[in-house]
Every structure is written in C-alpha cells, then in structure tokens.
Amino acid sequence: MNRVLNVIFFVFIGFVALPVFSQESGSAVIGGEYKYGLNETPCLTNEQRNSIKENLHQNVALLRANNTLVAKSSLVVSFTWPVRQATGFTYNEVWAISNYVDHNAAYPNLLSDYNCGTKTYDVSGGYNHQGIDIYTWPFSWKQFENNQSEVIAAAAGQIIGKFDGNYDKNCSLGGGNWNAVYVKHSDGSVAWYGHMKNGTLTSKIVGDTVSQGEFLGVIGSSGNSTGPHLHFEVYTNDSYTNLVDPYAGACNGLNASSWWQVQKPYVDPNVNAALTHSAPPVFNTCPTTETSNESDQFDLNDTVYFGTYLRDQVSGTVMNVKMIRPNGTYLGNYNKTFTSNYGSSYWYWSNQVDVEGVWKWEVSYQGKIVTHEFNVGTLSIEDSKIQKMDVYPNPFSNKISFTNDKLIVKATVYNLLGSKVLVVRSESGHLKELNLGNLNDGIYLLTLETESGRKKTIKIIK
C-alpha cells in the first residue's frame, strides 16, 4: 500500500483534504500541504504473497523444462528508474516517493529506511514495508485516466509472471489482487512491479524477454492500494526471501552498494509541473478524477491561475515565479520562502492578463527552471509561433534552417511563376532544415506547414 507523507492534493481513502493556506507580502499566493486521514496495510497479504511465489515457482519450472528459461550470467544488473511520463504529455515530472523499504524488523512504528529516516511504514501485525512506493503527482487520477505515467523495466530480463484483469481504482483497504509483472534478470534477481492499471499491461507473455526501459504497463491502484502508485520490490533468489533495497545508505543492511545506475537523492526537490488554470483545481473524492481546470488559452483581461506543483519541498529554500508578458516584461515576479518540508506541495497565484500574445509562466526552484507557455487573445500558441517563424541564412547558398524546428512537417518551394519545384515531408518528427543546393540562383517562395495544417510563406533568395 502506498503511504504518502505530507502530500497535498493527493486524496487516498475518501477523506476530504484541507489545504493549508499561505500568503506572501506583495502577492496573493495560496497553497501548501494537503492533510488527510490514512490507514496502512501490507501491499500484499500473506496469502497473496504466498500465491504469487507459488505461481512464479511453477512458471520458472515450466520454462526450465521447456528449455526456454534464460540462463543465468555473470552480468551485473543495475537499474534505471522504473517510471516515466508517456509520450505526448508535457509535465516536467510525474512522480514522487512515499515509502522505501523498512530496515527495522521491529514493530509497530519502529521505522528505518535506507537513509536512517522514517519514510516507510510497518503494521502491528508484523509487516515491514518491503518495496519502494512511487506515486503520481500532480493530478494522480487524471494521469491514471489518460495513461500518463508508465511503468518500465528497470533492467532487462525475462517475464516469469503476469497478472491482469483486477479492479484498478481502489481507494480503501482490502482491495483484492493487484495487476503486476514479474521480471527475472540475468543475475537471477527478480523485480516485482505491482498495482498497475487493468488492461494496460504489456502484450508480452510469460517467457518473453524485455529490454531495459521497455513498457510494462500504466500506474494504477489495483490490489491493496489507496491511490495510483507503483510498488517496486526486488529479490536476489528464487525463494523470494532475500529482499533487496536498491539504495545504498547507512541503514541499508541488505546490500552495501547501490543497484541504481544513478541513485537519486533521498531528498530530491523538483518542479513536477508549472501549469495555468482557468479556475483553481478541484480535487474530488477518491477515485473521481480531479477537475484540474488546466488551460493554455485565455481572453484579454481573463483571470489566470498560475500553479506550480513541487516534489520534496525543503524548509528554508526559496522558489521564484515569473509571469512574463509577450514583450518580456513581468506581470508578476515573486519569491516564496518555504517554512516546512513537504513531500508534495502546490502553490498558485491569480492575476488578470493584460496583453495579447504568447506568455510564459516560469518557476525556478533549487536549480530547476520550468517554463510553461500559454496564449492570450485570438491567436493560438501555434498560430503565434508560426507567424514569428523565419529561416536562416537568407540569402542562402545550399541549406536553410528554421528558427523553430519543432513545428514544421512539410515544406514546399515555389518559383515566381507559382510552380512547385520541391516538396519535402518529414518521415518522422519535424523538419529541421532543407537542402536546396540543387536550385538555380533566384527568388523563390517557401511555404512551411505544421502538423495541424497551419502555413506560412516566406520569400527566400539563392
């Protein structure tokens, strides 16, 4: 089960969270932590865990009998991060960590994570948390509905277990079985990926191999879970008794070195998203999808809600935010000094936008700068960008490039009589440049086209 410490805007088990409000001198900032009721239970009951182990034993035995079990090798396994944002979404980051492995075998409420902290849990019945809980943030249920946060293989290996078809929107305890994938690595270790969304698991079956970083499924809330998260658990042996905590730390007695290619810091501040809203977001009772009110299009004099969503907010640090007009001047430029540590936090300002064009909402925190663009007025952001687009060099000798190479998918060159002399289409992605070395010297018209069909024509000279 996922336990989130000091998480705001993340409602797990049906309790209505109450915001802590904060206001800065000279600005109207609202935000803070969301508090909620929380109970804890093992991610798996003893019966569920024993059933999984028996199934994995049977699958491995069958693969071995069929000579299809991948042989163990001397390769050292190292993990990449098992969560990523799906293609096509634009949050800066989509996750935070609520729990690590509990290294203190005593209970209850006798806790020690790998860093000698208490970012973990145990229960009075004797369960000490055995994995890493990675939850989605912000707008966890919205991410769930849109398949925004994916589970990927932390290391290459062979699928030795896969369970799907279980309910995936649990908000309370006793949620039944989870949807999960189990991957055996070259060194014999096995990773468990649990709580995934029903119907999203990889189409591969037991016995198939996966590469590092390959898609396994979408983060969900199946099984004993009170909100969307990934439970990542690792063992070094086939009996699943030698638990691995992949993190190197002073209180990790399970292994002396990190299993991560790059181990993330224990406290890892980040701006998960900088967003603009037409109204303050509404966080409905779990599992109803949040009403995020996200918008990138506003009319002149509209009130815009400028939101920032942080992971691992640290007391004593300062966040800077800027509302930047199209001409580069500031509608607002504020500092927010934090007085509390929060695992997740939100902050937003509201202001009327007073100039048409493409604006920027910029958030700077702990060396991270995240910029979000939005449009005010009749032109869309893409319209505005293509109007500003140009080519260089012009005049040219052979090649020309675009001032924005992330828009154009088709380019057509016409002579002054209106006849097409060249058409170039992108096979994948966007066009970055054109090779026009075969054209005769002279004047031409170049029409650039975006994926949505918007066009701009520019006179070019060779």
pLDDT in tens, 45-104: 999 999 999 999 999 999 999 999 999 998 889 999 999 999 889 999 999 999 999 999
pLDDT at 343: 92
Mean pLDDT on 266-294: 95
pLDDT at 354: 96
pLDDT in tens, 439-459: 888 888 898 888 777 788 888
Q: How confident is the model at residue 34 (pLDDT cuts 50, 70, 90)?
A: low
| Integer CA distances (angstroms), 344 to 11, 106, 191, 290, 313, in order | 12, 28, 27, 16, 7
Q: Is the pLDDT of residue 410 over 50?
A: yes
Rounded distance, CA 138 to CA 254, Å?
Answer: 32
Q: Is the pLDDT of residue 14 over 60?
A: no
Quick check: helix, strand or coil at residue 414? strand
Q: How confident is the model at residue 391 (pLDDT cuts 50, 70, 90)?
A: confident
Q: Domain 270-376 adopts which CATH fold?
A: Immunoglobulin-like (2.60.40)
pLDDT in tens, 309-336: 999 999 999 999 999 999 999 999 999 9
Query: Which of 380, 274, 268 has its CA nearest to residue 314?
Result: 268
Q: Is the pLDDT of residue 4 over 70?
A: no
pTM over 0.85: no
**Which residues, listed in sequence order, are joined to residue 374 by a DSSP beta bridge?**
359
Domains 39-244 and 270-376 share a fold: no
Q: Is the pLDDT of residue 24 over 80?
A: no
Give Dmax (Cα) for the chain: 85
| Integer CA distances (angstroms), 221 to 42, 83, 101, in order | 14, 15, 20
**Which range among 185-189, 384-388, 405-409 has the greatest average pLDDT?**
185-189
Greater model confidence, 30 or 1: 30
Q: Domain 381-461 adopts which CATH fold?
A: Immunoglobulin-like (2.60.40)
Residue whose structure tokens are 């699958």: 59
Mean pLDDT on 185-192: 96
Contact 32, 23 (CB under 8 A): no
CATH fourth-level superfamily of 39-244: Glucose Permease (Domain IIA) (2.70.70.10)
pLDDT at 310: 96
**Which range among 33-37, 60-64, 392-396, 427-431 has the greatest average pLDDT?**
60-64
pLDDT at 405: 64
Q: How confident is the model at residue 144 (pLDDT cuts 50, 70, 90)?
A: very high
Rounded distance, CA 306 to CA 342, Å?
Answer: 20
pLDDT at 238: 87
pLDDT at 390: 84
Tokens matching residue 41: 């239970």
pLDDT in tens, 231-275: 999 999 889 999 999 999 999 987 779 999 999 999 999 999 999
Mean pLDDT on 352-368: 96
Average pLDDT, the chain: 88
Q: How confident is the model at residue 367 (pLDDT cuts 50, 70, 90)?
A: very high
Dump strand ranges (E) for 115-154. Answer: 132-136, 149-152
Greater model confidence, 194 or 13: 194
Rounded distance, CA 227 to CA 230, Å?
Answer: 10
Query: Which of 226, 239, 385, 380 has its CA nearest to residue 297?
Result: 380
417 membership: H or E segment, kind and range: none
Q: Letter for the amino acid at 286?
A: C
Q: Is the pLDDT of residue 38 over 70?
A: no
Q: Letter for the amino acid at 95?
A: W
pLDDT at 416: 76
388 membership: H or E segment, kind and range: helix 381-388
Q: How confident is the model at residue 3 (pLDDT cuts 50, 70, 90)?
A: very low
The domain ranges of the chain are 39-244, 270-376, 381-461
